Amino acid sequence: MPGEHEDSTNNKTQINPFKAIILPTSPPCKTGTTDDFRNVMLVGAALIATVTFQAGITPPGGVWQSNDNQGHRAGHAVYSAQKVPFQIFLLFNTIALTSSIFLLLCLTFGYPYFLEVLIATISMMGTYSSGIYCITPYESVSFRLIFVAAPAPLVMRFVIWVVASAVRHLGLRIPK
């Protein structure tokens, strides 16, 4: 199994963290079956997607319920008045959401109804984006930041793959 080697003295399997990150094609731990591991990962990814989606649509502090003479508008996030913390919240929430969606897509690829899962996740990201747009005042959030955060999991995976390919091409060994 990639990322592991046998210890001849006590036959325990040890995990090489570098290979586990670069080669995520097999589970990094021993379970009864690979389907058990996949199911656990699917449940975890679905829970993370659910929580982060809800946190984005219903932000901390809620939304203003009515307009007032201090410039607050009904439907805008209360927390958006604190620009930097709100941007950090949206950045990390978006990265968590897209990472869990990426994991869901990886774990369902090649299985029946994958196209429906793909359409549902794309639609969910559209709903999330439009929800974020609705609850944030235009001047409080740089949407460029959100568009950078959304593809972060894919970019990180690609960079890791490129580095691993370069290491293999140069003939360097990844330490065990």
DSSP sequence for 92-143: HHHHHHHHHHHHHHHHHTTSTTHHHHHHHHHHHHHHHHHHHHHHS-TTT--H
* Tokens 């978006």 belong to residue: 94
- Cα–Cα distance, 157 to 135 (Å, whole number): 31
- Residue-level pLDDT at 16: 55
Q: Which residues of 55-74 are buried (b: 16+ CB within 10 A; e: fewer)?
A: bbeebeeebbeeeeeeebee
Residue 15 inside a domain? The answer is no
pLDDT given for residue 33 in this prediction: 59
pTM of the model: 0.72
Residue 116 forms part of a structural domain:
yes
51 vs 89: CA distance, rounded Å? 13
pLDDT of residue 1: 42
Domain holding 105, by residue range, is: 31-170
- For 85-132, the pLDDT digits (tens) are 888 898 899 999 999 998 898 888 888 999 999 999 999 998 998 888
- Give the pLDDT score at 139: 62
Structure token digits, residue 165: 């390919």
58 within domain boundaries: yes
Q: Which residues pair with 63 in a beta bridge?
A: 77
22 belongs to a structural domain: no
What pLDDT is attached to residue 97?
Answer: 93
Q: Is residue 104 situated within a structural domain? A: yes
End-to-end C-alpha distance for the chain, whole angstroms? 13
Residue 69 inside a domain? The answer is yes
pLDDT of residue 12: 47
Number of domains in the chain: 1
Characterize 159-173 residue by residue with b for buried, 16 or more Cβ atoms within 10 angstroms of its Cβ, and e for exposed: eeeeebeeeeeeeee
Q: Which residues of the chain have pLDDT under 50?
A: 1-12, 25-28, 31
